[in-house]
Amino acid sequence: MKCLVATVAIGLSCSLGLCQDVHAYRTCSNAATSQAELNQCASEETKRVDAELNAIYTKLLAELSKNPAAAAKVKAERSAWINYRNAYVDAMYPEENKQAAYGSIFPMEVDLLYAILTREQIKDMSNLRRSFKPNY
Choose among 118, 111, 76, 120: nearest CA to 92: 111
Return mean pLDDT, the chain.
87
63 is a domain residue: yes
Q: Which has more pLDDT, 136 or 41?
A: 41
Alpha helices in the chain, H assignment, sequence order: 2-13, 19-31, 35-63, 68-92, 98-102, 106-131
Give the pLDDT score at 134. Answer: 58
93 is a domain residue: yes
Q: Which has more pLDDT, 75 or 6?
A: 75
66 is a domain residue: yes
Give the pLDDT score at 6. Answer: 52
**11-66 pLDDT, tens per residue?**
444 433 445 567 999 999 999 999 999 999 999 999 999 999 999 999 999 999 99
- Using an 8 Å Cβ cutoff, are 53 and 122 in contact? yes
Among 8-12, 18-22, 94-98, whose mean pLDDT is lowest? 8-12
136 is a domain residue: no
27 is a domain residue: yes
28 is a domain residue: yes
Q: Give the chain's domain count.
A: 1
Give the pLDDT score at 132. Answer: 78
Calpha distance 60→64 (Å, rounded) = 6
Expressed as residue numbers, the domain containing 109 is: 2-131
Give the pLDDT score at 22. Answer: 78
88 is a domain residue: yes
108 is a domain residue: yes
